[in-house]
Structure 1
Amino acid sequence: LFESQHEDENDVQTIAYKCEVVPHAQYKKQISDAAKKGETLKANIFFLAGFYDPTAKTITFYQGVS
């Protein structure tokens, strides 16, 4: 997912599920920890990959994300 200054209004009825957004390093650690236990990561966990500027239409990836 990308951080952005974009704002949006969504009716609460359109939100079906809750998710968790974590920094990339934490996401990688959670994957590693789950793999050590023979498990997989839950489908509702995502990482913050960078910043999106909707005005300039540019994406800047955070360090360590490729």
Structure 2
Amino acid sequence: MGSVLVVGSGVAGIQASLDLAGFGHRVILVEREQELGGNLRNLSELFITGQNASDLLSSLLSELERKKNI
């Protein structure tokens, strides 16, 4: 599989990276800020689901760390 560049590490960027890595692509995830997470870092909970934003971010970051091709 080829390589894919994902720009931005908000929820969409992280999820896109995970999905693409799951399909076997080598993913390069870039972020201009010091930390991953985008605007999710500024939220306490998600509006529609009521899910704790920091719990979601922790879960997504853990998944990123487990993927060897990101």
- The normalised TM-score by structure 1 is 0.32
Bigger radius of gyration, 1 or 2?
A: 1
| Structure with more of its chain in strand, by fraction | 1
Tell which has more relative contact order, 1 or 2 (C-alpha 8 A, sep 6+). 1
- The normalised TM-score by structure 2 is 0.30
